Chains A and B, each alone.
Chain A
Amino acid sequence: MSYSISALGDSALTVDFGNIISLEINTKVLLLVKAIERAGLIAIKDIVPAYSSVTIHYDVIMLLRQHKNKSAFTLMSEQMEALLSQPVKAVAVTGRRVQVPVCYSLRYGWDLPDISAQTRLSVEEIIHLHTEKKYKVYMIGFLPGFAYMGNVDERIAVPRKLEPRLKIEAGCVGIAGKQTGIYPLASPGGWQIIGRTPVKLFDKEKEDTVFFKAGDEVAFYSITEDEFDNY
């Protein structure tokens, strides 16, 4: 398996499988995350899966005190290499299957007319193409619970807006190139907004504060404004 390990400062390192967005590479990412979790390594503060990389943040002081003659980075790198050299166990990395309701009416699908003009597809066709596919959550980032999902049908893979909006409401569903995602919190943002979900994707009161996890398989289905209001 080809990978590289690099330092992200003095308290984190990144295992990189190759700077691309691909299901196959992302599966390697999720497998490594599972292996790290299973290994129960000490001093790990955070494991952050991304499209094609895994970053671990670790406690330098704890490691230096346990191993006086080795750098914490060397220790953690060796641990990663050991995990990566093990034969891949046949563990399932398919995540949960989740269905997410989205209201694609023009009240919420702010950019549908623009996308329609750009792609020469009708709004109905755009909605059809967006709801027809299953998407994989490659990673969570940017905001609490913001899931980067893909891959969007090429015909509606429109680029980000040139001028980001100053405020996008929580629940807004967007497209950015081959990625689709939902804003869990109100935030500035540049994704093309095609609808809104009534599902709460971030809830600080819940034990699972965020709705999505890397590896989830997501399908969207269309709901009416009434169904949205009464959700």
Chain B
Amino acid sequence: MLQTLVSGLESGSWFALLGLAIVVVMKAADVPNFAMADIGLVATYVGISLAGAGVPFWLAVVTTLVTGILLGVVIDVALMRRLAKYGHFPLLLMTIGLSLALTALTGLVWGHDPRSFRAPWTGAAIEVGGGVAIGVSQIVSIVVGLLGAVAISAFFTTPVGAQMRAVAENRATARLVGVNAGRLSAIAWGVGGLIAAVTVMLQAQSALVSTLTPASLIIYGFVAATMGGFTSLFGTFAGGLVLGIIQQLVGTYISTAAQFSVALLVVFLVLVLRPDGFTKGMRLRDV
């Protein structure tokens, strides 16, 4: 039971982080980014290759993060920005096309075999008594996930973060006030790429990743983002964790085949019952 819970929290942390990456881009750039997990995968594969070539672990990690940021910014500046004035549909389609191309490109360059990003602690475990052991990499995922969520929340209270919240609330008025929406969107894509790189890297240091990873990860990321109403950071994070635990419980006690359907059901229920995210009411009461 404890093992199930920890595994749920671990995968939940990945979902939560990717959901946060989606929300950041949605807030500032008003695009649902279907290529988010692919960006993370490409960045992680770059890191894995470097580590495999003998580059020190932490340097490989930093390179992965930088790759994620650069990918995000370049995509925004080169592809997305000029489409913004044509409405939602081309933007949505562009991220889908990008996702297809990036996944395939990854397969072409690195192949389709699953890989892992070996960290110094990979394989180590902590005995918690009763014969139950928890992997260090699981703890790393959960702790980094938590820190990431705190960091993103802190980011949104900085002046740039406040500008993003303003853009999210009313893009037109924000521009009237002098907010440079193009610059904000590039920053958001960079931050999104960074978080996506962290997410896939966390998964790779604990389990295996392959070109199949983005397809499911992105759906779970969107489920988490939906649970936060695409705006609430707390709702997205909590949503991701809850989803991870539900998935793990369904997988353990019902069947792994049902996991995906359960996730879809969650999206539908949230959107129908609480289109603004399931923490919306709570937040209002706090105020």
Q: Is B one of A's binding partners? A: no
A residues with CB within 8 A of B: none
